[in-house]
Amino acid sequence: MRILGVDPGLTRCGLGVIDAAGARKVALVHVEAATSAAGDPTPARIARLAAAVDAVLDEHRPDAVALERVFAQHNVRTVMGTAQISGVVMLAAERRGLPVALYTPSEVKAAVTGDGRAAKPQVGFMVARILGLAEPPRPADAADALAIAIAHAWRGGAAPSGSGASTDAQRRWAEAERAARRRG
Amino acid sequence: MRILGVDPGLTRCGLGVIDAAGARKVALVHVEAATSAAGDPTPARIARLAAAVDAVLDEHRPDAVALERVFAQHNVRTVMGTAQISGVVMLAAERRGLPVALYTPSEVKAAVTGDGRAAKPQVGFMVARILGLAEPPRPADAADALAIAIAHAWRGGAAPSGSGASTDAQRRWAEAERAARRRG
């Protein structure tokens, strides 16, 4: 199953595509952080990011879209743009007949690090480890988009039922922590 | 100039089209409140309303779109859906090359009633009076969409500069109030 994970935002929109084969095999297909200029009119910014989303959907043809669930209690100045982009992403997915799954930030963090309150660097570190990358994808929005896709692969569609995705993530994280301590 | 006014919302989205000829001549072309079912998945609801917006744009071919500016300090439970729909409306307009103007609720109220804190029934009453309708459009979202379009006609593109749109609206409102007192 191919999954597009989206970390929505009006200034930077993370787009990460992975292939999930079986329970634990996930592989990077594509990752980017699409951007729009803060000085441009909002409709032009939205159209620019919508074109980036369409391009990824057309080129990589995912089977599902996983999207960060937006909460109004976040930063009031950015949340409106984030909600606008999430609406545009949902529309693009729905028009292609793709299922859309929503995950809270803490669900995503719990899935990839085993800790729902993990810091951003932990998320990037584990995304790199899970996907076999030399280092965390940058910027953070790109890593977050991949984390959302991984969360969907493990907690949503791809993992067999009762496989204990977060337990596996916790084991991986513990291994990674031990490795880091050995290196330090 | 033909203007589409939009009162964005995920449950009800007001869509009102007017023709504005010269400074004060405005005429109703179309009004509706597009709806989506609260029980449906959000992507399906967004796609349904986007289709309604596209249908109005295709059938009535406005020259400009006027949209209520969304604030995060509104009801937290509804503001996210409102922002999502506003993003979709901006995208539809931008993709057709139509200019998008944003107005705050108080700007719209001030334009059509002369009072930025006017109650909803006042807005509906004045919309009906300005457009020569027998009674206020229902539901309120439909009247609000027309009010946004009228605000754009008067304060934005159609009114000649220095024409004092709100002064004119205040005069009309005062006349309407006097008429209401005579009836009462």
pLDDT tens digit sequence for A156-175: 654 433 333 444 554 555 55
Residues spanned by the domain of B60: 2-183
Residue A85 has pLDDT above 70, yes or no: yes
Task: Give me the number of domains chain A comprises.
Answer: 1
Q: What is the CATH number of the domain that holds B175?
A: 3.30.420.10
Contact B80 A88 (CB under 8 A): no
Q: What is the mean predicted confidence (pLDDT) over A121-139?
A: 95
- Nearest CB among B43, B72, B93 relative to A80 is that of B72
Find out whether A16 and A4 touch, Cβ atoms under 8 Å.
yes
Two tokens at A61?
């043809």
- Residue A164: the pLDDT is 39
Residue A112 has pLDDT above 70, yes or no: yes
Banded model confidence at residue B74, pLDDT cuts 50, 70, 90: low
Residue B166: which of B180, B179, B150, B177 has the closest Cα? B150
Contact B43 A88 (CB under 8 A): no
Q: Which of residues 21-50 of A touch B (CB under 8 A)?
A: 41-44, 46-47, 50
Cα gap A77→B77, rounded to integer Å? 17
Choose between B174 and A147: higher pLDDT: A147
- Residue A184: the pLDDT is 42
CA B85 to chain centre: 14
Residue B22 has pLDDT above 50, yes or no: yes
Name the E strands within chain B: 2-7, 12-21, 25-35, 64-68, 100-103
Contact B85 A85 (CB under 8 A): no
Share of chain B above pLDDT 70, in %: 80
Residue A141 has pLDDT above 50, yes or no: yes
ipTM of this complex > 0.95? no
Is pTM beyond 0.90? Reply is: no
